[in-house]
Amino acid sequence: MALKRGEPDDKGWRKLVRVPDPQHLGEDFPIQSEPLLILHHLSDLHVCDAQSPLRPEYLDRWADPDSPIREIVGTIGTYRPHSMLATQVVEAMVQALNKISVGPLSGHSVTAAIVTGDTTDNAQVNEVDWYISILNGGHIHPDSGSLEKYEGVMDENPQHYDVKYWHPHGTPIGCEDDDARSKYGFPVVAGLLDSCRAPFKASGLSVPWFAVHGNHDALLQGTVTPSEATQVAQIAGRRFEGLPTSLSLEATLSAFNEVGPADFPGVSDAPYVQVTPDILRRAVERGEFASKHIAANGLPKGHGFTHQNVQEKTMYYATDLGAVRLIVMDSVNQFGGWQGSLDEPQFAWLETEIKNSKKPVVLASHHPLVTMFNDYAPIGRRICREEITAMLVKYPQVILWLAGHEHRHQVEWIGQQEENIGLWQVETASHIDWPQQSRMIEVVRDSAGDIYIALTVVDHAGDVDYSEAKTPLELAALSRLLCANVWQKREELGSSGGFSFGPGTPEVRNTVLRIPNRM
């Protein structure tokens, strides 16, 4: 059974309801086939240290429905009421995927899993450690700073209670109800700020998994290159609640650029709350992301990354997987900006890998092609979507490109489909925004030599009801319910409760794609 947002109550709050699984659309999948690659595709986990003091969550209120500049700023995305539940959501997805041992249409055994970036939310060392441990299996303690109390913006201290944040514990004496509960129907969930920090034993994926570098894995808030100043502030004991007098809101928002350079708000005289320092909140260094995967347990060793990645501080690699050549790109612009591109050495490496492959090629990156336009380059030159497209369509062995970043299910042909020139690009939705789904990818060849790509969305193992919101699966169920009701995105999610930007149309969720024989 699948999940759908139900009818709204008088505050617009929607429960989730179960509906029959959707049928696969598109091409007829072959009855008999040769497996090329059977893969779990996860993306945009956004494992988050929601108590980290440098997060500019105070900016997000300007995207609220009652904000006077809502139409100008759109979605900001520095605060989500369910960010502290990200580890439990990933655990719930692992449990769901571990129950799927064969492709639902092909019946062929699952080869591996791939995670196409933004595994963390703020590029912190502790977030990287949590995400790797969840996917490999181990004891997880998703807490930072003080281990005695929650110290994020939703804490229980009435002295810095703020109605613009959801407070699951309720309203302190003498304060007014927060907007989330009074205007938008969010619930009281007693004890949640303790439950979300409780240790748990992660299941670990039952198949080998491969990692991809995303902008939130390298850049603060996914857009700002860490600096000496931000490193100091990130591990220190001040959680900032607003901008310093030297910065205007307009200047600050414009500094979070999709194309670099990007800049983080200075602190100077900004108002703050004292919290517990934590050195594990420092930003991960370039190359360290790869080294942490190599040092971890789990298969394959390094999860795709090698010692060469560590030494050269690169985040791209290629490997044989199943009957295909998997080529993983690093689409992050290290100089800043949340959109993607490639540097010149990587682009040359990519073409060489493709040219030399005797197998069908499957590409993976965090950014999809449409977002590969971040050409900011104080050193060298960045390669963007036009050049990437022109190169890829020259090589008929390139059949598929897996991506995330946009937090949506989407399918697009890159090239000239009528002439069978090009490849399919498949984007998969995130774990942090509705509908919190991953995908099964089945790539097979029939007896005529045609290639079929079957896509099947997968819901995590959390139930419709969050019950007491104590166990990882209950907390994951609560997270999915909250993200289905986020007040800033209700219009985007659709007034009818039907498809939206994240889930996409039925044609791009469960579907079968085809590439005619090119031999």
The answer to whether 443 and 362 are in contact (CB under 8 A) is yes
For residue 195, tell me if it sits in a domain. Answer: yes
3-state secondary structure of 146: coil
CA separation (Å) from 447 to 398, 452, 511, 515?
Answer: 20, 11, 21, 13
Question: Does any domain span residue 159?
Answer: no
**What distance in Å separates the CA atoms of residue 213 and residue 289, rounded to the nearest whole number?**
8
What pLDDT score does 495 carry? 55
Looking at residue 254, what is its pLDDT? 87
Is residue 437 included in any domain, yes or no? yes
Contact, 242 vs 270, CB < 8 A? yes
- Written as six digits, the tokens of 248 are 């205007």
pTM above threshold 0.85: yes
Contact criterion met (CB below 8 Å) for 307 and 295: no
> Do the domain assignments include residue 226?
yes
Residue 152 lies in a domain: no
The first and second tokens of residue 479, run together, are 């997270």
Kindly give, in sequence order, each residue whose CB lies less than 8 Å from that of residue 302, ignoring residues fewer than 6 positions away.
290, 293, 294, 309
The predicted structure's pLDDT at residue 264? 83
Strands 238-240 and 14-19: unpaired
Give domain status of residue 363, yes or no.
Answer: no
Q: Which conformational region is residue 358 in: left (phi greater than 0), alpha (psi within -120 to 50 degrees), or beta?
A: alpha
For residue 400, give the 3-state DSSP assignment. strand
- Distance between CA atoms of residues 328 and 334, nearest Å: 17
Q: ∠ CA(487), CA(478), CA(92), 5° rounding?
A: 125
Q: Is the dihedral of CA 261, 267, 271, 275 positive or negative?
A: positive
Whether 454 maps to a domain, the answer reads yes
Residue 494: predicted pLDDT = 63
Nearest CA among 482, 143, 236 for reference residue 152: 143
Q: What DSSP element (H or E) covers 473?
A: helix 472-483
Residue 487: domain span: 2-146+171-312+427-515
Contact 509, 503 (CB under 8 A): yes
Please state, in angstroms and rounded to a whole number, the distance separating the CA atoms of residues 202 and 133: 7
Exposure string over 172-185, b if 16+ CB within 10 A, otherwise e: eeeeeebbbbebbb
Q: Which amino acid, one-letter code, is at 427?
A: E
Q: Produce one character per residue of 189-224: b if its CB has 16 or more CB atoms within 10 Å, e if not.
A: beebbebbbbebebbbbbbbbbbbbbbbbbbbbbbb
pLDDT in tens, the chain (519 residues): 889 999 999 999 999 999 999 999 999 999 999 999 999 999 999 999 999 998 999 999 999 999 999 999 888 999 999 999 999 999 999 999 999 999 999 999 999 999 999 999 999 999 999 999 999 999 999 999 999 999 999 999 999 999 999 999 999 999 999 999 999 999 999 999 999 999 999 999 999 999 999 999 999 999 999 999 999 999 999 999 999 999 999 989 888 889 999 998 888 899 999 999 999 999 999 899 999 999 998 999 999 999 999 999 999 999 999 899 999 999 999 999 999 999 999 999 999 999 999 999 999 999 999 999 999 999 999 999 999 999 999 999 999 999 999 999 999 999 999 999 999 999 999 999 999 999 999 999 999 999 999 999 999 999 999 999 999 999 999 999 999 999 998 877 765 555 467 999 999 999 999 999 986
| Contact criterion met (CB below 8 Å) for 79 and 60 | yes
N- to C-terminal Cα distance for the chain? 40
How far from 420 is each of 158, 371, 415, 451, CA to CA, in Å?
Answer: 63, 24, 8, 12
Indicate whether 78 belongs to any domain: yes
The rounded distance, in Å, linking the Cα atoms of 38 and 306 is 23
Of 14, 24, 17, 15, whose CA–CA distance to 2 is shortest? 17
User: Which of 259, 257, 505 is closest to 385 using CA atoms?
Assistant: 259
- Tell me, what's the pLDDT at 255? 86
- Quote the Cα angle for 92-94-100, to 5°: 115
**How many domains does the structure of the chain reveal?**
1
Burial classification of residue 408, based on how many CB atoms lie within 10 Å of its CB (0-12 exposed, 13-18 middle, 19 or more buried): buried
Would you say 430 and 46 are in contact if contact means Cβ atoms under 8 Å apart?
yes
Q: How many residues does the chain have?
A: 519
- Distance between CA atoms of residues 435 and 503, nearest Å: 6
Structure tokens at 273: 């709350």
User: Rounded CA gap, 289 and 132, in Å?
Assistant: 11
The pLDDT score that the predictor gives to residue 500 is 65
